[in-house]
Amino acid sequence: MNRSAKKILIIGLVWPEPTSSAAGTRMIQLVDLFLQKGYQVTFASAASKSDFSFDFSHTSVVEESIKLNDESFNLFLQKLNPDIVLFDRFMVEEQYGWRVQQECRDALRILDTEDLHSLRSARQQSDKKQSEIDLFSDTARREIASILRCDLSLIISEVEMKILEETFKIDLSLLYYLPFLENEITEESIKNWTSFEERADFVFIGNFLHEPNWNTVQVLKTKIWPTLTKKLPGVNMNIYGSYASQKVLQLENKNEKFFIRGRATDARQAISTHRILLAPIQFGAGVKGKFIDAMQVGTPSITTSVGAEAMKGSLDWNGFIEDDLENFIEKAILLYNDETVWSIAQQNGIKIINERYSPTHFADLFISVLENLDIQNHRQHNFIGQILNHHTMQSTKYMSLWIEEKNRK
């Protein structure tokens, strides 16, 4: 890689919205990392911006609006000539990967998976049908093919690393574990946390465009809250989240003390005023940003094994992990009422953030791996990837060219 140029092109599925989703937060963390290491960062997307898209104007990031199925992207690539191209999720690699390969053969191609979409989809289908999980779906075939076509794929979860290696037989040289990169929790920040006595109520937060979040709110409304509100009269359940549709808003019931608060201007600020984060997540994948936010402001949580998956390692959770809903409710009551149990949970969250998500454990090593990777030798060892780039991408390429030609008429 030509280190002197230090150019990275990030192609976003959307313009990142860190106030809307963990995916947006993750992307901004990656952008910040490359900026800190002296890279020239160009962020490009074919999506339209929203009112909540991150404002890059105060950074040195160059923004580029690109088109789908259009040769203008090839011309853009030729002019920029990046050293690294990072695809935001496999759908973006499918769309632009062949053009990058064609115009920038020596550029390091990285896929940021965000989470394994195929795993999340398989778990959702399993939950819906109450059947065994089938990982070998069409989505999995597309996602795994994308991983094989790229030089390196960033994986946010150790569980997903294991699934890719053991179930899908992906060589570990193609995978790189890179979790959320979080500021360590200092004594100074702890002093500013809201105390147990000053906090009240339960909270849940999540982007409602994300199906696991909508499902979780339904579980809270129908299976958790009817019992919990009787055991803790006077306590509210507060639901925050971006892109709440009418079906979400209709769940609000003031008499039941079940409130839909809508988008939180500042997620951490919203979580910090409540005593416990409740998240009976039934399916999903990756690592959940809501728990990172909760730990960062000293808010204990109760979730399921799927919710806490790959987050704590061998450490104790900052609250409780319960899959049985009756036990979930009992633990919620205990954690809400017992300040000692609550304080221990809070301390556990500090350890998780500082020991598992501090950039000091990951940032320098990651950049070093990128800068010392012998791309040609690396690709020689990924012969299946060579085959996929040679054959599979041809179908994507010619479909794109056909659309491009059709658009000219």
Q: Is 27 left (phi over 0), alpha (psi -120 to 50) or beta?
A: alpha
Burial class of residue 271 (count of CB atoms within 10 Å of its CB; 0-12, 13-18, 19+) = buried
Q: Which domains does the chain have, with CATH numbers?
A: 7-181+359-408 (3.40.50.2000), 187-356 (3.40.50.2000)
Query: pLDDT grade, residue 401 (50/70/90)?
Result: confident
CA angle 277, 280, 281 (to 5 degrees): 110
Any alpha helices (H) in 284-362, and if so which ranges?
289-296, 305-308, 325-337, 339-356
pLDDT of residue 302 exceeding 60, the answer is yes
Pairing state between β 175-177 and 202-205:
unpaired
pLDDT of residue 393 exceeding 60, the answer is no
pLDDT of residue 3 exceeding 60, the answer is no
CB 151 within 8 A of CB 174: yes
105: CB partners within 8 A, 6+ apart: none
The string of pLDDT tens digits covering residues 282-296 is 999 999 999 999 999
Query: pLDDT grade, residue 403 (50/70/90)?
Result: confident
Beta bridge partners of 204: 239
The string of pLDDT tens digits covering residues 20-59 is 999 999 999 999 999 999 999 999 999 999 999 999 999 9
pLDDT of residue 148 exceeding 80, the answer is yes
Q: In the block, which residue shows the tokens 């509100």?
A: 229
pLDDT score at 1: 47
Cα-based torsion angle of the residue sequence 33, 312, 154, 38 in order, rounded to the nearest 10 degrees? 10
Rounded percentage of the chain residues whose pLDDT exceeds 90? 92
User: Mean pLDDT in the chain?
Assistant: 95
Find the farthest-apart pair of alpha carbons in the chain and give their distance in angstroms, rounded.
Answer: 70
pLDDT of residue 189 exceeding 70, the answer is yes
pLDDT of residue 245 exceeding 80, the answer is yes
* Residue 171 one-letter amino acid: D
CB 272 within 8 A of CB 245: no
Rounded to whole angstroms, how far apart are CA atoms 118 and 25?
21
Lowest mean pLDDT among 107-116, 151-160, 330-339, 392-401: 392-401
Rounded to whole angstroms, how far apart are CA atoms 83 and 384?
23
pLDDT score at 207: 95
pLDDT of residue 11 exceeding 80, the answer is yes
Rounded to whole angstroms, how far apart are CA atoms 316 and 313?
8
| Mean per-residue pLDDT, 118-138 | 95
